Amino acid sequence: MTTDLDALYQEIILDHYKNPHHQGLREPFEAEVHHVNPTCGDEVTLRVHLADSPEGTQVEDVSYDALGCSISQASASVLSDLVIGKPVSDAMAIHDEFLTMMQGKGRVEPDEDVLEDGIAFAGVAKFPARIKCALLSWMAWKDATLSAVEPMECKEEAK
């Protein structure tokens, strides 16, 4: 019983929950989205700020205001840690890796080099009711990033 719970609520998750990183809504940003989990009412407002860098478009900042459980709050914190400062293409690859782990029913061995603190969510994949909690901010981030990337691409084409 406790082992299952401990697999779900890893220390890393509880730490991020108590002290979330990159929390709050900041300027500037190119896209803001609001995502809800209709079954439980969890909500996140998330902003993405992109900037040009030598390696292409980069995630300059992710800021958010989230209401929800420990899993969804910690997930937003870990997400922002992982993607801020990364080229968009790398960040998207991390997103895909996280998604694969969460949809893997606990049978996917996560890559710690890619997911870092994110591997703490591997245990959540065994709790079907909680997977959506862990994915809420990731879905919001992807949505916001895609809508922020589009105008930037148009700008580049116009050059």
Partner 1 sequence: MIEGLLSDLEVVRKDFPILARVLADGQPLVYLDSANTSQKPQVVIDTMVDHLERHNANIARAMHQLGAEATAAYEDARDKVATFIGAPDRDEVVFTKNASEALNLAANTLAWPGERQVGPGDEVVISEMEHHSNIVPWQLLCEHTGARLRWFGVTDEGHLDLSNLDALITERTRVVSLVWVSNMLGTVNPIGDIARRAHEVGALMVVDASQAAPQLPIDLAGMPEQERPDLLAFTGHKVVGPTGIGVLWGRRAVLDQLPPFLGGGEMIETVTMERSTYAPIPHKFEAGTPPIAEAVGLGAAVDYLSVLGMHHVHRHEQAITAYALDGLQTVPGLTVLGPLDATGRGGAISFEIAGVHPHDVATVLDTRGIAVRAGHHCAKPAHQRFGVQSSTRMSSYLYTTPTEIDALVEGLEYTRRYFRLD
Binding site for partner 1 (CB under 8 A): 1-2, 4-5, 8-9, 14, 39-43, 67-71, 73, 127, 129-130, 133
* Residue 81 CB, nearest approach to partner 1 (Å): 21
* Comparison of 2 and 158: residue with beta carbon closer to partner 1: 2
* Comparison of 107 and 159: residue with beta carbon closer to partner 1: 107
* Residue 35 CB, nearest approach to partner 1 (Å): 14
CB-based contacts of 114, cutoff 8 Å, min separation 6: 93, 94, 97
* Comparison of 13 and 119: residue with beta carbon closer to partner 1: 13
* Comparison of 15 and 111: residue with beta carbon closer to partner 1: 15
Cα 99 to its chain centre, rounded Å, is 10
* Comparison of 7 and 99: residue with beta carbon closer to partner 1: 7
Cβ–Cβ under 8 Å, residues 76 and 20: yes
* Residue 71 CB, nearest approach to partner 1 (Å): 7
| DSSP code at position 68 | S
Nearest CA to 67 among 7, 136, 116? 136
CA distance 64 to 109: 29
* Residue 52 CB, nearest approach to partner 1 (Å): 38
CA distance 76 to 80: 6
* Residue 56 CB, nearest approach to partner 1 (Å): 38
Count of alpha carbons within 13 angstroms of residue 77, beta-carbon side = 22
